[in-house]
Amino acid sequence: MRALETRYKGYVFRSRLEARWAIFFDLMGVSFEYEPEGFLLAGVSYLPDFRIRLASGFYWIEVKPDCEAWSPTIPMVTDPGGWETPIIGQMIAIFG
């Protein structure tokens, strides 16, 4: 299924799923920026969907419809709890 661009609060999101998460962040009072900065990771260009600000600091958010949509080109590590996490500081992947 092709993603549908969606407008919300002056942003043009690449998908409705991303826009829904922006609405969720707003409802929760979480400050966010959409695609504010890209990175070069292991020679691969990467643009996280959101940067959010919480009391504990900034976090990068990547939104995907499911875990199969996650790009295998993004370097990953497995943390002690068994979760795979991208290597770019404080990163959170959201599926669905």
What pLDDT score does 2 carry?
76
Both tokens assigned to 83: 């979760």
Torsion 82-86-88-93 (CA) sign: negative
Buried b or exposed e, range 72-89, using 16+ CB within 10 angstroms: eebeeeeeeeeeeebeee
pLDDT at 81: 54
Cβ–Cβ contacts within 10 Å for residue 48, how many?
Answer: 23
pLDDT confidence of residue 12: 95
Query: Which residues of the chain fall below pLDDT 50?
Result: 77, 80, 87
